[in-house]
Amino acid sequence: MSTHLSIGDFSAISHLSVKALRYYHEVGLLQPVSVDSSSGYRFYTTTQVPTAQLIRRLRKLEMPIPEVRAVLAASDRWQRDTLIAAHLQRMESILSETRAAVRELRQMLTTTETEFLVSLRTVQAVQAAAITATVGIGDIGAWWEDSRREIRALLRVTQTVPSGFSGGLFAQELFTDEIGVATVFVPVVSPVALSGRVKMVEIPPARLAITVHRGSLGTADRTYGALGTYVAEHSLAATGPVTETYVVTGDDTADEGRLRTEICWPVHH
């Protein structure tokens, strides 16, 4: 048995607002079973209630409408549950990122300024196994992790030993335009057999102002700010990407406080 319901009645039963129901009709997410051709009145049936409720739940968890559509169109239960599980996974990682950001802000508000040492150094060109891509600033974290994993895996299978600390190059446009060229690399003395996205590149020589960042890279923006300020105030600024050198990483210690990254800003002679 199913029953014709006006949009108001269907709204009261499903807890979706009338405005939302009209919008879902417009974008083809939830079609009324019939529409009166003269008045334009929409009619729903009680059999649509569970679908409406699933939509409401997914929207409450901020699943984008195209994805909700994919869930509703899923051909079997397994496919549907996979899509939902993937979204819940993403929600969980956003949750933990937010939690980290809260922690970092709390820390930032309580920490007093630490001493801040800058050294100037000229680095030579170096051969490296590297992955380069044009990346959006929002994706940079995930891209960075994936790329480093891929390079490490390649060095492991080819039994190649790094000849120095791993590092990254980040074009200034990444910050000014939210998108730009980034490179992560591991120095090696002799070329490795390549696969996937990994290429052999020469990291160009540069003159750099360098300071050491302590702790998670999530708080590196403060160190960038202090170093950039130093470079600007000493009229040293040159064009070129900033470099990060990973001296003590998460692979070396479980204690965030012991992490060490050199932040290197390009300067002129």
Label residue 3 exposed, middle or buried (CB < 10 Å: 0-12, 13-18, 19+).
exposed
Among residue numbers 181 through 210, which ones bind its own copies (CB under 8 A)?
none
Which residue is associated with the tokens 């403060």? 222
Given the rule CB under 7 A, which of 142-150, 176-184, 248-256, 259-267 is the region that contacts DNA? Answer: 176-184
Rounded to a whole number of angstroms, the minimum distance from the CB of residue 86 to its own copies is 13
What the block records as the tokens of 223 is: 């160190």
Among 37, 40, 113, 235, binds DNA (CB under 7 A): 40
Work out whether 101 is an interface residue with its own copies (CB under 8 A): yes
Rounded to a whole number of angstroms, the minimum distance from the CB of residue 59 to its own copies is 11
Work out whether 73 is an interface residue with its own copies (CB under 8 A): no
Cβ proximity of 104 and 111 under 8 Å: no
**Binds 216, which of DNA, its own copies, none (CB < 5 to 8 A, cut-off by type)?**
none
* Residues that contact its own copies, how many (by CB under 8 A): 57
What sign does the CA torsion over 182, 263, 150, 192 have? positive
Using only C-alpha atoms, what is the Rg of the chain?
26
Work out whether 177 is an interface residue with DNA (CB under 7 A): yes
- Cβ proximity to DNA, 8 vs 191, nearer residue: 8
**Binds 193, which of DNA, its own copies, none (CB < 5 to 8 A, cut-off by type)?**
none
Label residue 65 exposed, middle or buried (CB < 10 Å: 0-12, 13-18, 19+).
middle
Beta strands in the chain (DSSP E): 4-6, 34-35, 42-45, 119-123, 126-136, 166-170, 179-187, 199-203, 206-214, 242-248, 260-266
Work out whether 117 is an interface residue with its own copies (CB under 8 A): no
Q: Note the residues at the interface with its own copies (CB under 8 A).
A: 1-3, 5, 8-9, 11-19, 46, 49-50, 52-53, 56-58, 60-61, 81, 84, 88, 91-92, 95, 98-99, 101-102, 104-106, 108-109, 137, 172, 175-178, 221-222, 224-226, 228-229, 232-233, 235, 237
